[in-house]
Amino acid sequence: MIPGLVQILLWQGLGELVSHFVLPIIPGPVLGLIFLLVFLIIKGSVNSSLALVSDAFSQHLGVLFVPAAVGVILFLPQLKANAMAIGLALVVSVVLTISVTALVLRFLAKKDSHES
């Protein structure tokens, strides 16, 4: 399990370095995840230690949302004041996300049917 954690921390560290010196507008952990994803796509497989860590994290993913929920409660007065705008933004973003996902799926399905 330790080698998997080290791999994740190394990719996050690389993301932090790139974020600090090259792309300061993108958070380091996001860049680290992108680098890890690209690495895994190029490699074509996930090693067992990384799979073990990712399985353990995914089983306890709900715990990671507790701090965010507490933060939301702290800003409850601002949320109430802007409830209509926040609700509209949520609805529009969900509709756009579903639409883009459907379009990408349709594009990939057409591409796959042409290759077969």
Would you tell me the crossing angle of helices 28-43 and 2-21 to the nearest 10 degrees?
A: 120
As a whole number, mean pLDDT of residues 101-105 equals 95
Name 27's Cβ contacts closer than 8 Å, sequence gap at least 6.
Answer: 15, 19
At residue 85, the pLDDT reads: 96
The domain boundary residue, chosen from 10, 34, 59: 59
Same domain? 54 vs 33: yes
**Collapsed DSSP state (helix, strand, coil) of residue 75:** coil
pLDDT, tens digit (0-9, with 9 covering 90-100), for 39-95? 999 998 888 899 999 888 888 887 877 877 787 888 889 989 999 999 999 999 999
Domain range enclosing 109: 63-116
Provide the number of structural domains found in the chain.
2
Q: What is the rounded radius of gyration, in angstroms, for the C-alpha atoms of the chain?
A: 19
Tokens of 105: 């799926």
The domain boundary residue, chosen from 33, 59, 85: 59
Pair 86, 77: CB distance under 8 Å? no
Same domain? 55 vs 77: no
Same domain? 67 vs 98: yes
pTM score, two decimals?
Answer: 0.58
At residue 74, the pLDDT reads: 86
Rounded distance between C-alpha atoms, residue 51 and residue 68, angstroms: 26
Same domain? 6 vs 53: yes
